[in-house]
Structure 1
């Protein structure tokens, strides 16, 4: 009986914290906003290669970007002070894969994109560091 109570409490606490951490229920009905693994990101990139409605968005500084980035990525610096203005110029109906160094800035960027009404945005968990740790390629 004690184990059952512990399991129920764990489930309730998990549901509470997950619900507060940007769950899909926080998005509008016509939005897909979620965090994905680097393996899922790689598949997303491969599946959408060459498609005009798919954008890889690097939100690191230009200096970080020049040291290595995902192939085909565009760079809009989250820390530049005009990030929201620059991102608001993008087509909200396209599909976006967003990343930074470790996924802190990309998480903040995705929140802004969600609020701006972007339809489909994926945040690469772990950022480019996790990407490179998985042995996936970058370009300079």
Structure 2
């Protein structure tokens, strides 16, 4: 009985999530085909998302130059934990700092609270080069 309820709940969640972003398709013949099809669509959607780029340096360092499109969450500020706690834990995140050390600490913290796709790209310059994005000061 519990297995049927759990399976039904999983199917329902998959259908709701896939229905939010997937185009209309012909209905499959079985529930198994439905779950499989919608799970594939959800994985494709995640692949298409751009990662959030987070500069974990101080606001003063951020102002001297940061990767275009990055947000500034100072890992040494008490507010850092509040800034990351409500982010989507299954989304992709790119971190960097001056040398990679603070980004490594931030990555460890984020993974410890359930984030599954966090990458440390090291320094501003290394992140810029790896991502193919300019360093800007605005």
TM tier, smaller = 0.5 to 0.7
Distance 1:100 1:76, change over 3 A: same
1:102–1:130 CA contact under 8 A, matched in 2: no
| 1:87 to partner: Cα distance | 1.1
How far apart are 1:53 and its partner, in Å?
4.6
- Structure 2 CA distance for aligned equivalents of residues 99 and 116 of structure 1: 19
* Matched residue, 1:128: 124
Partner of 1:38: none
The TM-score, its normalising length taken from structure 2, stands at 0.57
Query: Which of 1 and 2 has greater Rg?
Result: 2
Consecutive unaligned residues in structure 1, runs of 5 or more: 1-50
Q: Which aligned pairs between 1:6-85 and structure 2 lie closer than 5 A?
A: 52-85=49-82
Matched-pair contact (CA < 8 Å) for 1:97–1:121: yes
Counterpart in 2 of 1:119?
A: 116
Q: Secondary structure at the match of 2:104?
A: helix
Cα offsets for 1:94-119 (capped at 9, x unmatched): 10110011011100000000001111
RMSD (CA atoms): 2.4
Name the count of aligned residue pairs. Answer: 89
The runs of at least 4 consecutive aligned structure 1 residues that moved more than 2 Å come to 129-134
Describe the shift of the 1:86–1:133 C-alpha distance in structure 2 as closer, same or farther (beyond 3 A): closer
